[in-house]
Each structure stands twice: as structure tokens, then as C-alpha cells.
Chains A and B, each alone.
Chain A
Amino acid sequence: MNSEQFNRMMLGAGSGTVAGADSGILPNLSRRGFIKVASGAAGGLVLGLSMGAPGEAQAQSAGPPPRPFAPGAFVRIAPDGKITLISKNPEIGQGIKTGFGVILAEELDASWSDVTVEQAEVNRAVYGSQIAGGSMSIPRAWDELRYAGAGARAMLVAAAANQWGVPASDLTTSESRVIHAASGRTASYGSLATAAAALPVPDIGSIRLKTRKEYKLIGKRFTGVDNAALVRGQPLFALDVQLPGMKYASIAKCPSVGGKAKSFNAEEIKKLPGILDAFIVEGTPPVTDVMKTGVLPGVAIIGKSTWAVFSARKALKIEWDTRTASKDSWTDFVKQAKALSSNAQGEVVVKTKGDVDKALSPDNTDTKIKTVEAFYQFGFVSHAQLEPQNTVAWFKDGSVELWAPMQLPDPAVVAAAADVPADRVKLNQMRVGGGFGRRLMNDFVCEAAYLSRRVEGPVQVVWTREDDMRHDAYRVGGFMGYRAGLDTQGKLSAFDAHMVSFKDTASGKVSKGGGISPNEFPADYVDDYRASQSLMPLSTPTVWWRAPGACTMAWVQQSFLHEVAVAAGRDHVEFLLELFGRGAGKGTPPAGGLDAARAIGVIKLAAEKAGWNKPLPKGHHHGIAFYFSHLGHIAEVAEVSVDASKKVTVHRVTVAADVGPVINLSAAENQCEGSVVDAIGTMTLEVTIEDGAAQQTNFDRYPLPRMAISPQVDVHFVQSEHSPTGLGEPVFPPVVPAICNAIYAATGHRIRTLPVTQEGFRLG
């Protein structure tokens, strides 16, 4: 952590209302000043703290009321002992609100039963980027939160030391109390909070973090902090927000992406019951970055209830201007991709080393024995988060306040849509009913901001499921042509990957999640290697989708490596261990990159726990895959059977994960279990695009997985000494190749097309 990051972390909430203000927990924080203690001339880290300015509270009332101890934006301790911890990032089901609370509480040495976790306000000045993406919440916040908790603890200890006239070094803490063992004295954090708040802020260099052996909370199981509210159906989501006088709105958009409304039956629509207005929306100007998408064009309907608006939607007769609309066709893309892949080398070489063409040439009889070739194809899929896109917006007096399910709150984009300055936008982070990457975009938030300004009052925008699936920014489909060479010992010696993928028509850039990295495995593990790509222009919007890139790359790569192992006549686990063994112990692994030793560790663990090469029930077969993504090293073994009708049953998936120390074991296991179910379901799903329009627009034709296909999931964590990393994504990628490798073991059939339904397989 650098000084800027630390400073930002410790700076307090500077604006907006603070929950608890009325209850006396945090009186009038927003009206108080902030103390910032800058670093000394030695150039040490800057430590800032927010707290009420001394004396101000007294000035406001006759006697000195209890003052809250509020070191920074993450911890508040009230005189009554209540501890409020603040979670800065969006909660999208990854469990971060609980996880962040556990990290803070651990270093604070708080009793978990004293703790309440609150969602932070959106405030980039205080928190920096508040994003749920890339499984980066834990690794990015790990140091920040530990220092915030430990810094607060140090101040409480200092307060007790002053009170008792003993050295701070003689004091310990436990369960929200400071303890002086020599005299038997103890004091609760609540009783020390007011005194601690008046103390100087400790230098970051003086703060000692706990060692892993000292952890009391981290690594245990915690139920989610919102679970009690969830099971009661309390309003936690943006869709649940209701404001006085709120209107309801929906925008009908052209099924072919990019089309505009020319005209519609406005008079007829406006006369329908419960309808207040209807008008054409021109939309904000098209952008080249899908993440900055504003308001899409269409026809807006404003009404007194959601149902009035949805009913009126059905009565709409819109004439679309499709001159600017997408004409994309998946059928055409498949044909083009097959033609492009006839060249071994793609249009752009991403990485080359050695001489892969020579190594794989039929004339090369020096070392090469065998060449393996395959072509893989995978379709587009939808995010299909269960809570449809929605936002409540309230435009008033030149400002707009919004309540939305966001993974990446972006005031600038929203401000542009509402035509107000960015500092006149207040975004409220609501619990997000599923993200999977889709809510990194703010297009639905923009719609509400725009419409609220238009109707000059509070409005709720709700997308129908059909809107959601037609105007998703999908997981990009793609194609991969592979060639591999085996040497005389049956070892992988040459590897050639030609990815046929897409580039955005508007920007010319590789579609998000559609590229191949120069370091893609096994680049560093063979002498002759090439990665290249050919890109087809794509008008259909695509955006990050759970483990973007990795979620499909793992399937093609780990399936193909199994093909190579089979061609070599080698056991797949032995093949993988030998391949990764080439990299283990050879220098320091790249920071944030694949670590061969950790890969080997999880491959061995998964194989051992699953009983690889041990007898299985009749008709059951194993497949294994490994993939490194989002800083997680994950190996998985799938136990599968396939019946004569090609019905695939996944009985068990064994997950071996090295993501460093686990914070909340329950949430971590939940992410693994959910990733497995998500991946199994996605194997059978696709959104086909024809004439620029999605052909699957609801769950009847996009059948998400249901309970009966959910397998047993056994999760094993390697609790390594590395810093902890995220789990929302990295468990997904190895699932599908592990299953497809097991299907091969069961049937001898290699699945090279996703969804597997294209090859006649189904789940059961």
C-alpha cells in the first residue's frame, strides 16, 4: 500500500447522510471537521483519520455528550459498545459485505456479536473505485482493511494505557475489550471510544498486524450479515425502493441492437389506463466503450404502476428505423470463422517463440512424432442475473439521486445522461440481485436518471426479462483452432493457438473477454509456441461475464490438452504434473501470474481427494482440469456418467483451490458450489444472434440450471501463506473442461462445441 492509498483509506466520509445519525451513534458527523495527520519530514506514510473535531460536540450542547470514535471510513465505535464496520464495495452475492466485516473485526479484535456491517456510500474521494469486478475486492482491500482495523485497535489500546497509567505494550485485547493482565483490569471498546477519538493517530509503521496464528475470526464460517433481512423479505434491493409520488417507467428498445424508434401509436398508448405519458427517446450519442453506454433509443412509457406500463408495452406499435441497427448473424459468424481458421496463423500474432510452423511441419521428423489438431466453438451467453435491470431515480433542484444495483457506480456516465454535473449525482449502492459482470455497465441507471429529469420527479425504471436478454452485453462467443506437437517421449513440444474472435465495430478493439493473452498457458512451458488471432467485426454489445476470457479459454485449452494427453497415451494428471513441473522451481513466478508450484499443489490435491484412478461406481468417469485466473489456482475433478441417450449426469465435482487464506469459509464454499452449478448450466445455454437480435429472450428458451442438476461439490482449500485473493470467478473456468474430459472418458466423444446441446448432449 502506498501513502496515497493509505491516506484515502483513512479519510472519513465527507458528505451525505450517515446512517445512525439520528440514533446518536454518530451525531452530526457531516458537520464536523476532519483531522488529517500528515507524515513527518522523514517521508513516512501519511495517515489520515476522520473524527469529530475536538470541542465541537461540547459547543453544541450543555454537557459533553458521548462522542463517537470514528477512525476513518471503515470503523465506528459507539459509547454503548456497538461497532459499525463499513463495507465499501458492492454486494452482488459474492459475500463481500460479510467478508470485509470479518477482516476489519479481526484486526480490531472485536467480538463478532458486537458488529453491524453497513454498506458505504458511493464516494470515490474516500474509497477510490468501489467496484465488484475481477474478483479483486479481497486482494485490493486486504491491507487497507487490516490497517484500518488494527489502527483503530491501537488507538483504543492507547486510550486504556492513558487511563490506567500503564504502558500500551502491557495491554492486550480480546472480544471488544482492552485487558491489563497484570492488574486484572479490563475496559470495553465502547467505554474507551470517546477517549480514543481524541488521541493522535498512530503512524502506520507502528501498527502491528496479526499473524495468521493469532486469527480468531478469519477462516471460520459466518452466515451473511444480510441473511436475517433476506429471509424476512425486507427491502434490500433497488427494485424494492419506493418513494412518495414515484412513477413507473419502461423503455421499449429495438430488438435489433442500435435501431431507433421512428414513430409509434402515441395517442392510443397515452389513453390506456394508468398511463401518464409516452414519448420517443433519441438516446444518448453512441459510444465506443460499451462500459460507458448511456441511454439507448426507444419509446418510453410512464405510468402509475409497473403493470400499467408493462401492459401498455404490449400495445405498442413502433416503426423502427433499422438503418443504424446491427445485422449480426451467428450463423454467418460460424461460416466466417471456419474459413478464417483454415489458416494456421491468424491475422495478428500475439506471441511467437521458437518456430512453431517448422516444429509442426509434416516434414519435421527430427523430434516430433505426432501432431494433434482440433477446432473449438462456443456461443454467446447472457448474464441473466435474476433481478432485472432497474433503478429508482429522483431528479430535484438540479440534482439527481439514484438507487441502483451497480457493480461499478459511475457518476460521470449517469451525469451525462441526466445532463447535470457529476457532483450533482448521488448514487446509492443497493444489494445487487446478481451481477456476473452485467452491472459493471450503467445503462439502466442512465435511463432512470434521464427519465426522472424528463418527468421531474421520482421514477422507477424496470426492464422486462425480454428487455434484459435482448439488451444484454453478452459473453462473447468465439472459436479456437489448435495444433500441438508431441516429441518422441510423448511430451508436449510445440503449441499453436489461432483464436477466431471478434472486435467491436465501433471501436475496432478486441471484444471484451474475446482476446488471447501473450502469456496464455502453455506459452512459458514449451519451446515452440504461437498465439494468434483473427477478429470479425461485431456490432452486438459484449461485456465482462464471470471470469471473462478465462471462462471460455479454460474450456478450449484444458479440453485440448486432454486430447494431447490422450494422443500421447498418458494419464491426464501425470501429463499435467509433468507439464507444470517444467515451470516449478525455475525462478520467481511472475507477480500476479501463474505459479507452477501452486498449480501442481491443487492438481495433486484435487486428484487425491477425488480418488483419481481409484474405482468409481459403475458407469462413472472422471475428468480433470486446471486453470489459473483472477489470481486463483484451481483444479477440479468431475465425476460424470452419460447414458445411451447422451444424458449427462454430473455426480460430483471436487474443487481444489489455492486462493491464499480463506476469510469466511462458508461464503468461500458457497462461491465454489455456485460456480460449479453456474458452469454446468452454462454448458447447455446460448444466445444466438440473428439480424442483430437475440433469439432467446426469456427463461423458457434459455433454461437456467435447476436444483436437480446440482451435483455434490467437495471443496478443499490450500490455505497457503500467499495473500488472500477472490473467489467469485476463478472456480468457474475449470468446471466445463473437467466435465467434457469426463464425458470423453465415458463415451470417447470429444465435445468441441458449446453448448453441448449442439452435439446432442443434455443434462439430467
Chain B
Amino acid sequence: MLRLHVNGKDRQIDDVADDTPLLWVLRDELNLVGTKFGCGIAQCGACTVHLDGQPVRSCQIPVSAVSGLKITTVEGLAKGEQLSTLQQAWIDHDVAQCGYCQSGQLMSATALLAATPDPTDAQIDSAMAGNICRCGTYGRIKKAIKAAAQSGKGQAGKERA
């Protein structure tokens, strides 16, 4: 029996190997499939989630290491119907192409704005360096982050679960 705290809820999981990466527990056991599998070696960032607010690559975190930590996935960014400022900026800037990487991009960007409410270009490049967008939507990701920073002036960070 494993207890996890995910998106503000306590979840129990039976029968999962300790070494199972958090990614696969989220996807296969909890049906939180917004977190994506891309490379399995922490190179692409598609599996990015927050542990106590810090962005991590869930494909590399054994589930045994996260008990007691607050896990936030892309499904936990909105407050019910209310999207976060960053999610809304993503829609307003029509960021996605295929969209597969975007959950991970949003998680990294949300953590960035929480720590650095008004980031410079270099800070954005650095914080987002772990997330690959194969479609090349980087310019729009950057614009959406800046727009959220401007409109929220830190609000995006406060919205973080």
C-alpha cells in the first residue's frame, strides 16, 4: 500500500513496485495521463511534475521517494474551471502544435514564475532548457510566459498548488 498526495488529494495505490517511476504510477495507476512519456532518461521534460513546488522529471523519480511530498501534475494547475494565468496565456498565444510536450512545458513554466515572477529572457531559456518541443514552439512559449508574468505580476506563482 502506497499513499501519495496528488493535486491536493490523498491517493492510495496497491501493488506497485517501489522502483516504479512516478510517471508510470501517475499514468497507469492513477489515470493522470496529462503527464507524458517521451524519452525515459530525463532529457525531454515531457514528464515534468512538481514535488513540493519544484519541477522534476517524473520518469526518474521512484515512487518510493515521494511519499509525504506534495505532487502537482498538469491536471492540478487549474482551480476547477478556472485556468491559471499561464494556462490562459498558453491558449491566448496559441502555443501548441502537436501539444504532446505542453504539459511538461507548463509545469516548468509554472515553477519558473513561482520562483521568478518577472523572468528575463535568459532566465526563461535556462528554466525551460530541460523541456524539448519537437514542433519548435519555443518562441510562443516564451511569449506566453512573459504575458503571464506581465498580467499576473506574480499571480501565476501564487496560483500554484
Residues of A within 8 A of B (CB): 92-95, 221-224, 226-228, 230-237, 239-240, 242, 248, 273-274, 305-308, 310-311, 384-388, 431-436, 462, 464-465, 666-667, 670-671, 673-678, 681, 698-700, 704-708, 710, 712-713
Contact = CB atoms under 8 A, between A and B. Distances in A.
A3 B33 CA distance: 44
Task: Determine which residue in B16, B74, B99, B106 has the highest number of CB atoms from chain A within 10 A of its CB, and name it.
Answer: B99
A242 B31 contact: yes
Nearest to A674: B136
Contacts of A235: 33-34
A433 B35 CA distance: 13
Most chain A beta-carbon contacts within 10 A, residue among B38, B41, B101: B38
Given A224-B96, A387-B98, A233 B141 contact: no
Contacts of B93: 223
A700 B38 CA distance: 12
Interface string B78-112: 10000100010011111111111111001000000
Given A222-B94, A223-B91, A699-B39, A93 B28 contact: no
Contact of A93 (B20, B83, B97, B124): B97
B94 A386 contact: no
B161 interface: no
Contacts of A227: 90-91, 94-96, 99
B94 A666 contact: yes
Contacts of A386: 36, 38, 44, 46, 98, 100-101, 132-134
Interface string B9-41: 000000011011100100111011111111111
A234 B132 CA distance: 20
Contact of A223 (B34, B38, B92, B134): B92
B70 interface: no
B128 interface: yes
A480 B157 CA distance: 53
Contacts of A676: 136
B155 interface: no
Given A273-B17, A706-B129, A670 B97 contact: yes
Contacts of B32: 233
Nearest to B141: A707
Given A223-B92, A434-B134, 18 more contacts: A227-B96, A230-B103, A231-B90, A231-B102, A232-B75, A232-B77, A233-B103, A242-B31, A308-B17, A386-B38, A386-B132, A465-B39, A670-B94, A698-B41, A706-B131, A707-B124, A707-B131, A713-B139
Nearest to B136: A677
A90 B41 CA distance: 29
B80 to A, nearest CB: 11
Contacts, number: 191
Nearest to A94: B97
B40 A465 contact: yes
B109 to A, nearest CB: 11
A228 B95 CA distance: 11
A629 B87 CA distance: 36
A435 B32 CA distance: 24
A237 B136 CA distance: 19
A708 B129 contact: yes
Q: 6 tightest A-B contacts by CB?
A: A233-B34, A677-B136, A93-B98, A433-B100, A233-B74, A93-B97
A433 B74 contact: no
A308 B18 CA distance: 11
Nearest to B102: A230
B137 interface: yes
Contacts of A432: 98
A709 B138 CA distance: 9
B134 A232 contact: no
Q: How large is the interface on B (under 10, 10 to 19, 20 to 34, 35 or more residues)?
A: 35 or more
17 contacts: A93-B96, A228-B83, A231-B90, A234-B34, A239-B37, A248-B28, A307-B20, A307-B21, A385-B134, A433-B36, A465-B39, A673-B137, A677-B138, A678-B136, A698-B40, A706-B138, A710-B142
Contacts of B16: 305
Contacts of B94: 221-224, 227, 666-667, 670
B17 A274 contact: yes
B137 A670 contact: yes
Interface of B: 16-17, 19-21, 24, 27-29, 31-41, 43-44, 46, 73-75, 77-78, 83, 87, 90-103, 106, 124-125, 128-129, 131-142
A716 to B, nearest CB: 16
Contacts of B40: 310, 464-465, 698
Chain B interface helix/strand/loop/mixed: loop
Given A223-B94, A239-B37, A308-B17, A699 B44 contact: yes
Nearest to B31: A242
A240 B38 contact: no
Contact of B97 (A231, A274, A674): A674
Contacts of A242: 28, 31, 33
Nearest to B83: A231
A665 to B, nearest CB: 10
Contacts of B35: 233
Contacts of A248: 28
B33, B40, B100 — which one has the most chain A CB atoms within 10 A of its CB?
A: B100
A306 B24 contact: yes
Contacts of B90: 227, 230-231
Given A242-B33, A707-B129, A431 B28 contact: no
User: Which of A231, A464, A710 has the largest count of B CB atoms less than 10 A from its CB?
Assistant: A231
Contacts of B29: 305
B95 to A, nearest CB: 8
B41 A465 contact: yes
Nearest to A677: B136
B161 to A, nearest CB: 13
Contacts of B28: 242, 248, 305-307
B157 to A, nearest CB: 17
Contacts of B133: 386, 677, 707
A358 B23 CA distance: 66
A696 B7 CA distance: 37
Nearest to A679: B136
Contacts of A237: 33, 36, 100
A367 to B, nearest CB: 46
Contacts of A387: 36, 38, 98, 100
A699 B131 CA distance: 12
B24 A305 contact: yes
A248 B137 CA distance: 32
B37 A388 contact: yes
A710 B39 CA distance: 21
Contact of A232 (B74, B129, B135): B74
B91 A708 contact: no
B144 to A, nearest CB: 10
A707 B98 contact: no
A743 to B, nearest CB: 20
Q: Which of B36, B46, B125, B135 has the most CB of A within 10 A?
A: B135
A671 B97 CA distance: 8
Contacts of A705: 132, 136
A235 B129 CA distance: 25
Contact of B99 (A221, A230, A678, A707): A230
Given A223-B94, A307-B24, A699 B103 contact: no
A224 B137 CA distance: 13
B149 to A, nearest CB: 16
A369 to B, nearest CB: 43
B60 to A, nearest CB: 13
A234 B29 CA distance: 16
Contacts of A673: 136-137, 139-140
A386 B96 CA distance: 13
Contacts of A226: 96, 99
A307 B17 contact: yes
Nearest to A305: B28
A137 to B, nearest CB: 14
Contacts of B128: 706-707
A92 B21 contact: no
